[in-house]
């Protein structure tokens, strides 16, 4: 009988699968909570994470018509680093995040998304909707949707995804074939089961130019059929790594985004020496987190919903 897979490995997401594709060994060490050293570079990462969280939540607050003072107060509560901490390389700080939020509110108040209304789900605004798909053998895929909107005249459905980047030049190819956007259809199935296609609008903010770039795409349910198969392939790959007790180390990924991997100096050590053991407390926390997801479906439910969709041609244009 094979050894059960650690439940921390079983919990998948878009970001964790990106790590798996870049370097399986990094994926394994991150999932099993291998320690990393805290230095100035990691401090910059924490500011980057806080910045993205604050801007994303601020946009959602704006969509819910919160007052400017309430938006800024919520941003203050969401900011975890020191209030005056700054990542000068990426032009990120609490005050820069507030500026980005104010820019979104200003654009929206003038013309942006004027005829689009925030959808409600179970009596609540469709912001930061969470979903989890249960796969065989205990695997789970989790995700969140920033916001779901519907056009007040045409009835079209739009998923709004907010991104922040330090790059001054944002190219649509960065997002067009992202698997993350396909996962949003899970949420849309729960709200609009009759949909056969939908739009995704990437609202990408460059911290360098301090401008928003609006990048719309049409998505079809044919694309989701391929996405399901790709997820199953990723799961089978993880099973192979577990069976072999080896997660390959991709040396070409040791240096990405102008920095070394967090595990660069430790990844060649034995896994048992550098990872945290699974404890009852960790297992209980994992179960508690999964119980909080708003939309829960199984692979069988997903396949059934996919079969029920009528085939629809992929649009020729990406114009919103």
Phi, psi values for residue 77, rounded to 5°: -70, -30
206 neighbors 170 (Cβ within 8 angstroms)? yes
Query: CA 30 to CA 34: how far, in whole Å?
Result: 6
Query: CA 230 to CA 236: how far, in whole Å?
Result: 10
CA angle 166, 172, 174 (to 5 degrees): 60
107 neighbors 210 (Cβ within 8 angstroms)? no
The pLDDT assigned to 211 comes to: 93
- Predicted structure pTM score: 0.86
Pairing of strands 157-165, 197-206: parallel
Q: Is residue 49 part of a domain?
A: no
Digit-coded pLDDT (tens) for 136-154: 999 999 999 999 999 999 9
Q: How far is CA 288 from the centre of its chain?
A: 20
263 neighbors 247 (Cβ within 8 angstroms)? no
Q: How far is CA 148 from the centre of its chain?
A: 15
Q: Is residue 86 part of a domain?
A: no
Q: Quote the mean pLDDT of the chain.
A: 88
Domain ranges, residue 144: 7-36+113-308
Q: Is residue 276 part of a domain?
A: yes
Digit-coded pLDDT (tens) for 83-131: 999 989 899 999 999 999 999 998 888 877 888 999 999 888 999 899 9
The 3-state DSSP composition of the chain as helix, strand, coil percent (nearest 5) reads 45, 20, 30
Q: Is residue 156 part of a domain?
A: yes
Q: Is residue 81 part of a domain?
A: no
Q: Is residue 120 part of a domain?
A: yes
149 forms beta bridges with 118, 158
Buried b or exposed e, range 251-279, using 16+ CB within 10 angstroms: eeeeeeeeeebbbeebbeeeeeebbeeee
Q: Is residue 68 part of a domain?
A: no
Q: Is residue 47 part of a domain?
A: no
103 forms beta bridges with none
Helix (H) or strand (E) holding 258: none
Digit-coded pLDDT (tens) for 1-32: 468 999 999 999 999 999 999 999 999 999 99
| Total tally of structural domains belonging to the chain | 1
pLDDT over 70 for what percent of the chain? 93
**What number of other Cβ atoms are within 10 A of residue 59's Cβ?**
24
* Whether the predicted pLDDT of 60 surpasses 60: yes
Spatial neighbors of 115 by CB under 8 A, at least 6 apart, are: 151, 152, 153
């Amino acid at each position: 009988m094979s050894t059960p897979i650690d439940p921390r490995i079983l919990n998948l997401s878009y970001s964790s699968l990106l790590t798996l594709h870049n370097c399986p060994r990094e994926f394994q060490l991150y999932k099993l909570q291998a320690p990393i050293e805290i230095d100035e570079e990691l401090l910059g990462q924490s500011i980057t994470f806080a910045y993205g969280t604050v801007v994303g939540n601020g946009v959602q607050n704006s969509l819910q018509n919160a007052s400017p003072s309430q938006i800024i107060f919520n941003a203050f509560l969401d900011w975890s680093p020191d209030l005056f901490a700054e990542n000068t390389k990426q032009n990120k700080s609490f005050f820069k995040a507030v500026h980005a939020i104010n820019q979104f509110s200003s654009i929206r108040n003038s013309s942006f998304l004027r005829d689009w209304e925030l959808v409600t789900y179970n009596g609540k605004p469709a912001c930061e909707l969470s979903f989890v798909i249960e796969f065989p053998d205990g695997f789970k895929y989790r995700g969140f949707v920033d916001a779901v909107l519907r056009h007040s005249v045409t009835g079209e459905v739009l998923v709004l995804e907010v991104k922040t980047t330090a790059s001054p030049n944002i190219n649509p190819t960065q997002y067009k074939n992202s698997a993350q956007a396909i996962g949003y259809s899970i949420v849309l199935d729960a709200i609009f089961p009759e949909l056969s296609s939908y739009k995704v609008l990437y609202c990408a903010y460059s911290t360098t130019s301090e401008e928003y770039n609006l990048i719309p795409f049409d998505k079809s349910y044919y694309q989701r059929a391929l996405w399901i198969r790709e997820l199953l392939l990723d799961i089978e790959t993880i099973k192979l790594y577990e069976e072999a007790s080896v997660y390959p180390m991709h040396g070409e990924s040791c240096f990405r985004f102008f920095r070394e991997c967090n595990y660069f100096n430790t990844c060649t050590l034995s896994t048992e020496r550098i990872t945290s053991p699974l404890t009852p407390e960790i297992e209980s926390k994992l179960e508690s987190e999964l119980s909080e997801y708003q939309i829960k479906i199984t692979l069988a439910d997903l396949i059934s919903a996919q079969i029920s969709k009528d085939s629809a041609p992929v649009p020729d244009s990406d114009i919103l």
